[in-house]
Amino acid sequence: IRIPILNPDYSQKKDTTHVVGDSTIRTLLVQDTIRVGVFLPFCSSKNLTEETEGESAVENEEKEPVTLYGLTRISLDFMRGYDLAMDSLRSLGYYVEVDYYDTQNDTNVCKEILTRKELESYHLFVGPLFQTNFKIFADYAKNMGVPIVSPVKISSRLLLDNKYVIKSY
């Protein structure tokens, strides 16, 4: 019977880097924290409504269902599914940290998000959903050497021009 013994030298390694062609690939170990940035059009400002005036709103015991903006609904559904997948990874022993950003489906907002310093610490980007905004993030990911996943159908040209772009369908 062979019983594998944990090699203490291997378990102490925190970061290994491999060079393949013109690419540098960082190998993440199970104990590493994987940081993921998810960029979705939550469009939170389109869902804000003013409070209703008067006592009738308080007295009404039957509440009407909240109607969300279409992109907000889609983004929330995607976020719930993604969180479920991340919980599955965590149950397998992986450390995953996910940050969500509201792109508002606005190119200027996307450009503003890309100026944030914390993006440099991510290991993976997911989204945005729309091709125009995705292209902006894909160019940034290419410069940073970070893989970026498109959760929706995109042009194959983006795959040819950028080896960090991944199609998920």
Q: How far is CA 77 from the centre of its chain?
A: 14
Which residues of the chain fall below pLDDT 50? 10-14, 18-21, 50-58
Structure confidence at residue 53 (pLDDT): 38
Identify the DSSP state of 152: S
Q: Residue 47: what pLDDT?
A: 82
Position 165 scores a pLDDT of 93
pLDDT value of residue 48: 72
Q: Return the pLDDT at 25.
A: 53
The confidence score (pLDDT) of residue 11 equals 45
| pLDDT score recorded for residue 71 | 93
Do residues 103 and 132 touch, judged by C-beta distance below 8 A? Answer: no
Q: Which residues contact 36 (CB under 8 A, 6 or more apart)?
A: 86, 96, 97, 98, 99, 122, 123, 124, 125, 126
Whole-number pLDDT of residue 56: 46
- By three-state DSSP, how is residue 46 classified? helix
Q: Would you state the pLDDT for residue 61?
A: 57
Query: How high is the pLDDT of residue 13?
Result: 46
What pTM was estimated for this model as a whole? 0.75
pLDDT score of 58: 47
